[in-house]
Amino acid sequence: VSLRSIKRKLRAASRVSSMTALVFVIVVGMCAALTESVLAAGTLTKISWSVSNNAAGATGVNYSYSFTTATSGTIGLVVFTVSGGTLSGTPTIAANYGIGAGSVAEVGNTITYTVTTPVTVAAGIPVLLEFGGNTNMAAGAYTTAIKTETSAAVAIDGPTNSQSLTFAATSTAETIVVTQSLTFTLNNTAFTLTMDPSLASLADQTNVSTLTVLTNANSGYTVSVADNTTGLQSSSVGNPTIPDVATAGTYVSWPAAPASASGYTVSGTATIPTGFSGTKYTGLASTAQQIASSGGPTGTTAQSIIVTNQVAIDYATATGTYTDTIVYTVTPNYS
Amino acid sequence: VDLHARKRLAFALATAMIAVAAGTGAGVAAVQAATSRSIAVGVPTDPVLVRPGEASELPIRVINPGATAVTVMVKGEGIRLGNDGHVALTGRPDPEWSTRASFPAGELTIQPQSYVNVTVTVHVPAHLPPNLYFIGFVVTPVASGSGVVQINQIASFVTINLAGPRTRSLTATVEGPQGWHIGTFVLGSKVTGTLVVRNTGRTAVQFWGENNVTSLFRSDPVEQRIPVSLVPAGRYREFRLSGAGWLPVDIVTLGVSVTYPGRTAVSTRQILITRSYWVVAPWAILAFLVLVALLAAWWALPHRQHSRSTSRGRVGRPATDRLWVKSRSRW
């Protein structure tokens, strides 16, 4: 065996091993690349599944799926696999946003959306697909796994599960908007007292008005009262007035006859200021005075505020027709 | 059909005549009252999201739940937000919104059991900082009747939320305990206090929270919810806190948390306050005193009997008796 032949064999062996190494590297590289491409399938984000009717077995139901892509790719197929059920109905495409137009097919528990002309969809693109004509499955909880694929069914993103939706046998998803509402009722919008100082029963008279409040305002309400600046005033010569029994906010007992005074007292099921306790009276003012309140909603039973307006006259009171405008204001409290 | 119509007409006439008679009778009583009137107003419960520099429409519903038609006017008016949810009218247009909020002009007649949707258009200035704003308005029935006229009006408001980050600042304190107490020693079966949440910032804040009550003998907390509440800038809100002892003598701890959004809605801030109190039921003190009295009686009774028997057995020796009792007392 000559030295030259040994060198030749060694070179040949070196070439073989180099080729083997090269092939190994290529094979490993391809495997790695393939593995990487498989692993590259991202996770769809912001997945949502909603239905227009969640009653089990309901027909003509719209299924709406929204998600955001995680990986840039040429989406040819979007596959929706509903857990544990068999879909029925003939789905139609109600909406497609963020992805091209296409067609829909349903087999078993899978809805497949096929894009007619696939184009590259970048990562982070919100997509919404809504399918009509679905028939809901039996009562139970379901999720949908969503994945995007190329036209050759190579995964791009997913499968990623949606949140769970419950199809119920006897219930339907409802959204009820209840506005903050307040009802205010007054049982008489005007009154007249025909008075005469010669007889006690005609010289001192009252009018009872009942206000009622119903509200669902969380923090309740406040009722206040005010009247004209001049109070009870006549249009006769000199514009005489009947004085207030007390300054607004000062509470006194009703004066004994003879007297010329006007005032009011309040009672009722609402929270009434303590000044009115013991049938105490006060005068009206043009500045609103609180006469009732509540710290919470009334519920179904209206709260009453009973306002007794009382007027007493004597022979010193000028004749004439005295008028006034009393304004009751209810305000819902902020909550 | 004609016969039925005649019968109905005859019945109506008869009814009218009774009413006239009744009216004459009422005239003797010298009080004449007109009909009742009922109105209702509905506004969005949550703040309406608006954007600076844009016009937004705010929905208001005016309802007539009564049996007769009501004519009302809707106009903007300034409101003043007080503490604890109180709202008062300023009596004049809101200087900030009077030219920026458009209310329907003229009178609106609402048929019985019907409603009218009123749209208020608000032009939000571009320079307005993010905050909650309150558009006040009054629904006033047009006066009817003569003599002393009474009007029942509803003042309300729509809250608008000008989106954007804002600086929110709250402080919270627990005041109390209330009732009979010395320091943190409370006589009663429970401790009560008041949580006061003050808005020390320049923007309105919506907050929520809870009061977790635990005690020395019960570690699982009893939760008292503090609902989502609004506190305008410079105002405060109060909430009653209460925690009961598990045993007649207990240490009750109120663990109060107040949570509110940070600069943006995605972050939150929290104020934590913990207060502990000795809670002693009055009957427990009474029972203790009775027990002490019984123990004292139990201790004293045998000795008294013993001393009596000793004194009976030593007649004629009182001096020694006294000495013995004295020595026992010392012992």
* CA pair distance A322, A192, nearest whole angstrom: 9
pLDDT 10s digits, B30-60: 454 558 899 999 999 889 999 999 999 999 9
Residue B213 makes CB contacts below 8 A (sequence gap 6+) with B221, B222, B223, B224, B242, B243, B244, B252, B253, B254, B255
User: Which of B32, B113, B154 to substitute to test the interface with A, most A CBs within 10 Å?
Assistant: B154
> Closest approach of chain A CAs to the CA of B32, in angstroms?
5
Of A191, A219, A329, the CB nearest to B147: A191
Mutate to test the interface with A, among B150, B157, B225 (most CBs of A within 10 A): B150
Nearest-CB residue to B45 (from A180, A195, A328):
A180
Nearest CA in chain B to A214: B40
In this predicted structure, what is the pLDDT of residue A132?
86
Contact predicate A140/A72, CB 8 Å:
no
Instruction: Tell which residue, A263, A322, A318, A320, has the closest CA to residue A289.
Output: A263
Which residue among A181, A191, A202 sits closest to B33, beta carbon to beta carbon?
A191
Chain B residues whose CB is inside 8 A of the A327 CB are 150-151, 153
* Measured distance CA(A299)–CA(A327) in Å, rounded: 25
Helices of type H across A162-259: 200-203
Q: Is A325 on the interface with B (CB under 8 A)?
A: yes
The Cα angle at residue B135 between residues B130 and B137, in degrees rounded to 5: 180
Question: Whole-model pTM above 0.95?
Answer: no
Chain B positions touching A325 (Cβ under 8 A) are 143, 148-151
The closest CB to that of B30, out of A177, A193, A327, belongs to A193
Please count the helices (runs of H) and the strands (runs of E) in chain A.
Answer: 2, 22
Q: DSSP character for A168?
A: B
Quick check: A209 contacting B, CB < 8 Å? Answer: yes
Write out the H or E segment, with its range, that includes residue A145: strand A144-149
Question: Which whole-number Å values give the CA distances from B291 to A233, B185, B286, B305, in the listed order?
Answer: 73, 22, 8, 21
Instruction: Please answer yes or no on whether B31 and A325 come within 8 Å at the CB atom.
Output: no
Would you call A205 an interface residue with chain B, using a CB distance cutoff of 8 Å?
yes
Q: Residues B144-196: pLDDT tens digits?
A: 888 899 999 999 999 999 988 899 999 999 998 988 899 899 999 899 999 99
Instruction: Answer yes or no: are the C-beta atoms of B222 and B242 closer than 8 Å.
Output: no
Instruction: Check CB contact of A288 with chain B, cutoff 8 Å.
Output: yes
Would you call B30 and A187 a contact, using CB atoms and an 8 Å cutoff?
no
Which residue, A327, A224, A309, A306, is CA-closest to A261? A309
Give the model's confidence band at B291: pLDDT under 50 very low, under 70 low, under 90 confident, else very high. very high
Q: B224: distance to nearest CA of chain A, Å? A: 17
Contact A331 B39 (CB under 8 A): no
- Give contacts of A 152-181 with B, CB under 8 A: 177-181
- Angle of CA points A106, A110, A115, to nearest 5°: 65
Contact (CB<8Å) A326/B86 = no
CB contact under 8 A, B147 and A193: yes
Residue A102 pairs with which residues in a beta bridge?
Answer: A115
Tokens at residue B95, please? Answer: 């200087």
Nearest residue in B to A328, CA atom: B152
Place of tokens 């320079």: B127
Chain B residue whose CA is closest to A293: B86
Cα B213 from chain centroid?
Answer: 21
Weakly modelled stretches of chain A, pLDDT under 70: 1-3, 6-7, 9-10, 12-40, 97, 170-176
CA atoms within 13 A on the CB side of B299: 8
Reported as a pLDDT band with limits 50, 70 and 90, residue B225 is confident
Hey, are the CB atoms on B154 and A184 less than 8 Å from each other? yes
Region at A239 (left for phi over 0; alpha for psi -120 to 50; beta for the rest): left
Task: Look at residue B285 and tell me whether its pLDDT is greater than 70.
Answer: yes
Q: Which of A19-28, A152-161, B264-273, B302-311 has the highest mean pLDDT?
A: A152-161
Contacts of B228 (CB under 8 A, 6+ apart): B206, B207, B208
Distance CA A172, CA A56 (A): 9
Residue B278, pLDDT score: 94
- Rounded to 10 deg, the angle between the B282-313 and B318-330 helix axes is 150
Here the ipTM equals 0.74
Kindly report the nearest CA distance between residue B211 and chain A, in angstroms.
Answer: 19
Residue B21 has pLDDT above 80, yes or no: no
Cβ-based contacts of A179 with chain B (< 8 Å): 42-45, 61
Q: How far is CA B254 from CA A109, B182, B208, B210, B278, in A?
A: 54, 17, 16, 10, 12
Query: What is B77-92 written as a DSSP string?
Result: --EEE-GGG-EEE-SS
Return the HEC string of B153-180: EEEEEEEEEECCCCCCCEEEEEECCCCC
pLDDT at site B28 = 36
Interface size between A and B, measured as CB pairs under 8 A: 174
Q: What is the pLDDT of residues B77-90, one digit of tens each?
A: 999 999 989 999 99
- Report CB contact under 8 Å: B38, A332: no
Beta strands in B52-130, from DSSP E residues, in sequence order: 55-64, 70-76, 79-81, 87-89, 101-102, 107-110, 114-123
pLDDT at B11: 39
Cα(first)–Cα(last) distance of chain A, in Å?
Answer: 104
Q: What is the spatial distance between Cα A49 and Cα A127, in angstroms, rounded to a whole number?
A: 12
CB atoms within 10 A of CB A123: 14
pLDDT at residue number A304: 97
Asked whether the bond before A126 is cis by omega within 30 degrees of 0, the reply is: no
Cβ atoms B275, B254 nearer than 8 A: yes
d(CA A302, CA B312): 81
Chain A CB contacts of B208 below 8 Å: none
Distances, alpha carbon A333 to alpha carbons A45, A182, A219, A318, B83, in Å: 42, 11, 5, 43, 10
What's the token pair of residue A260? Answer: 């010329």
Across the interface, which of B66, B148, B155 has its CB nearest the CB of A191?
Answer: B148
Residue A290 or residue B318, greater confidence: A290
Peptide bond into A159 cis (omega under 30): yes
Per-residue pLDDT, B307: 63
Which residue in the set A189, A207, A330 is minimally distant from B37, CB to CB? A189
Inter-chain CB proximity B159 and A195 less than 8 Å: no
Q: Which residues of B touch A224 (CB under 8 A)?
A: 88
Min Cα separation A46/chain B (Å): 17
Answer whether A189 sits within 8 Å of B156, measured CB to CB.
no
- CA A209 – CA A230 distance, rounded (Å): 21
Q: Do B150 and A328 touch (CB under 8 A)?
A: yes
Among chain A residues, the shortest Cα distance to B153 is held by A329
Residue B71 banded pLDDT, cuts 50, 70, 90: very high
- Token readout for A309 is 């307006």
